[in-house]
Structure 1
């Protein structure tokens, strides 16, 4: 008997004991389903959460001058205060990084500001920020109504503003704020957009914010003739390239700031992907846990398969004797039973993989939105484990069948 004949004979034996094959395959299916299902759910949830965190800035980093607003002392020594990042330096960095990433420039103009409309005024708790054309996109700010600043408004420093949801509610009640005028910092601004409601977080609220064009902010005199400090936010399309781009950005910024070699940088880079890093760590633990649970289930399934294969050997003792009497070698007998075990595992494994993928994506969809994921790595791992379980579980019964004495087997009832 060659390999093809052995495979066909194994399939005929499986078909002849269909109920036993289904039950055995079901044991394997449950094991593979738990393994693939848990790992698929973890991957799907990670994908969904990564997309969410990316929308929150997980694919970006900020550049600010070192020691910003911090003149404290440490160890009895006053910390060094570095120069502000001025407009020239910020624009040079933006120009040199424009082909690799989306760079936005912004400046904090004023805090605790009173804003007035024709009939109402706010408490002194409004923050004024000046931003360029990429500011809304890089900070994932969406407009509930209205529009962003035009190129003309950005370049010419026109007095236009985008306001937060709380400002629109307090200053204009039930009226549409678009096209209305507000006054702050001694200037009159026309409202062209309103941000979506964000809600409060960390003791503050993005709904009490006004955004004006960057050039307009540069024209507003600062208290005590202070120089504006520019913040730079760099966003990239692929979060996995963040470390590489950060290294390149560091080199460009050191060149722009003319920081001497061998000395510490006069600026600092803050990553925005700490949540993604934490997510990777948690998902790693979940995968280990899922793999252990699936392995234990498969261990039980392999014991069950070995027991069923032992029963099959006992039931087919006379058949084995006939085959040996007709010239079948011990190797061929062993091969036949191993093929049966592997085929049963593969059939059960395929069903388990399909159920596991459906189960994993179903669990993930209940937790958050995300695309349907087919974890090809775990599919390959699952099928490999099926073959391994089949070989391990079927080897001893196959070895025992191959060692049966043909004369004693023919006399077996």
Structure 2
């Protein structure tokens, strides 16, 4: 009997005992559903949280001049202080990094400024920041109304501003601020957007609520008593690519800062990937736990399948005797029952994979805003496990069937 004939015989046997086959396949499908479903849910939630962490700046790093913050080394020894990063260096770094990451360049203009509009003014607690086109995204600031800076405004240094919600309420109340003018640091700016309320930031800074954002070129052209210090924040798409991009950025920044060969970096790079690292560790532990739960469920399914295959061998003892009398070998009998067990497992496993993927994505969607994830790895693992369970559960009943004596089998009633 060939393999194809064995498969046909397996389906014929399954069709003749349809209810028993369906119940057995359901047992297997529940085991596969629990395994694939748990692992899919973990992956989908991790994907969703990674996207959230990315929007919060988890997949990013900051570059600043080394020693410029006057932090002490161990033992209270002051480290060497290097010049701050200037405007030209920040622009060169952004151009050279290219598409490897999304670079946001900003400069601190003032920390206690007043804004005026007509006869109203804010308290002297507004931060004034000059930023480029990527500043809002990298800082996770969203616009409530209005728009971001246009490319022409960024390049020409136009007098436009985006203000925080608290600043808007102080100056305009419930009226719209879009298109109106405010006076800031002795100059008139047109308001083009208002930021969403973010609540108080760390240290009572007000977050985005007490912020006035102006184009980077505008801030660079404003009169000042001392040179501006430029901050560079680079965001990457995924946490996995962060180390590679950081290595690229280090080489580019050394060239931009003209650090000599063998000299230490004249800048510091600080990444914000601690949340992503903790998430990877936590999801790894959850996957181990989920795999164990799914494995235990599959173990119960394999025992049930073995029991049903034993019943099938007992019911078909006379049939086995007839096949052997007609010339079927022990190997062919064993193959027949093994293929039957594998077919049942694959049928149940296919249903379990569909249910598991649906369940995992449903759990992720219920917990948070997740995207539909197709876990090809877990689907392939599920199919491999189905075949393995079929072989493991069917081998003993198949061996028992192959060892039956044909004469005794023909006498069996």
Q: Report TM bin, short chain.
A: over 0.9
Equivalent residue number for residue 394 of structure 1 = 394
Equivalent residue number for residue 178 of structure 1 = 178
- Map 1:279-358 → 2, pairs under 5 A: 279-358=279-358
Quick check: 1:374 aligned with 2:381? Answer: no
Deviation at 1:99, TM superposition (A): 4.9
Residue 207 (structure 1) aligned to one of 209, 217, 225: 209
The answer (yes or no) to whether the contact 1:361–1:372 under 8 Å persists in 2 is: yes
Q: Tell me how far apart the structure 2 counterparts of residues 3 and 215 of structure 1 sit (CA, whole Å).
A: 75
- Map 1:224-243 → 2, pairs under 5 A: 225-237=225-237, 240-243=240-243
Q: Tell me how far apart the structure 2 counterparts of residues 383 and 363 of structure 1 sit (CA, whole Å).
A: 22
Q: Tell me how far apart the structure 2 counterparts of residues 353 and 235 of structure 1 sit (CA, whole Å).
A: 36
The answer (yes or no) to whether the contact 2:63–2:231 under 8 Å persists in 1 is: yes
Give the 3 Å change call, closer, same or farther, for CA 286–389 of structure 1 in structure 2.
same
The answer (yes or no) to whether the contact 2:59–2:276 under 8 Å persists in 1 is: no
Equivalent residue number for residue 102 of structure 2 = 102
Report the TM-score when normalising by structure 2: 0.93
Q: Tell me how far apart the structure 2 counterparts of residues 314 and 75 of structure 1 sit (CA, whole Å).
A: 81
Deviation at 1:392, TM superposition (A): 0.5
Moved more, 337-346 or 8-17: 8-17
Moved more, 71-80 or 109-118: 71-80
Deviation at 1:90, TM superposition (A): 1.4
Equivalent residue number for residue 111 of structure 1 = 111
Deviation at 1:66, TM superposition (A): 2.0
The answer (yes or no) to whether the contact 2:195–2:208 under 8 Å persists in 1 is: no
Q: Tell me how far apart the structure 1 counterparts of residues 73 and 239 of structure 2 sit (CA, whole Å).
A: 36
CA RMSD of aligned residues (A): 2.0
Gaps spanning 5+ residues in structure 1: where?
none
Moved more, 324-333 or 118-127: 118-127
Gaps spanning 5+ residues in structure 2: where?
none
Q: Tell me how far apart the structure 2 counterparts of residues 17 and 298 of structure 1 sit (CA, whole Å).
A: 22
The answer (yes or no) to whether the contact 2:129–2:213 under 8 Å persists in 1 is: yes
Moved more, 393-402 or 138-147: 138-147
Moved more, 367-376 or 93-102: 93-102
Give the 3 Å change call, closer, same or farther, for CA 404–156 of structure 1 in structure 2.
closer
Q: Tell me how far apart the structure 1 counterparts of residues 406 and 186 of structure 2 sit (CA, whole Å).
A: 106
Report the TM-score when normalising by structure 1: 0.93
Deviation at 1:336, TM superposition (A): 1.0
Give the 3 Å change call, closer, same or farther, for CA 411–149 of structure 1 in structure 2.
closer
- Map 1:133-152 → 2, pairs under 5 A: 133-152=133-152
Moved more, 353-362 or 89-98: 89-98
Q: Tell me how far apart the structure 2 counterparts of residues 176 and 302 of structure 1 sit (CA, whole Å).
A: 67
The answer (yes or no) to whether the contact 1:71–1:81 under 8 Å persists in 2 is: no
The answer (yes or no) to whether the contact 1:35–1:294 under 8 Å persists in 2 is: yes
Q: Tell me how far apart the structure 2 counterparts of residues 351 and 250 of structure 1 sit (CA, whole Å).
A: 50
Q: Tell me how far apart the structure 2 counterparts of residues 29 and 270 of structure 1 sit (CA, whole Å).
A: 48
Q: Tell me how far apart the structure 2 counterparts of residues 299 and 38 of structure 1 sit (CA, whole Å).
A: 16
Does the residue aligned with 1:144 lie in a helix, a strand or coil? Answer: strand
Does the residue aligned with 1:111 lie in a helix, a strand or coil? Answer: strand
Q: Tell me how far apart the structure 2 counterparts of residues 71 and 304 of structure 1 sit (CA, whole Å).
A: 66
Equivalent residue number for residue 275 of structure 2 = 275
Deviation at 1:238, TM superposition (A): 5.5
Does the residue aligned with 1:299 lie in a helix, a strand or coil? Answer: helix
Q: Tell me how far apart the structure 1 counterparts of residues 73 and 343 of structure 2 sit (CA, whole Å).
A: 72
Deviation at 1:237, TM superposition (A): 4.6
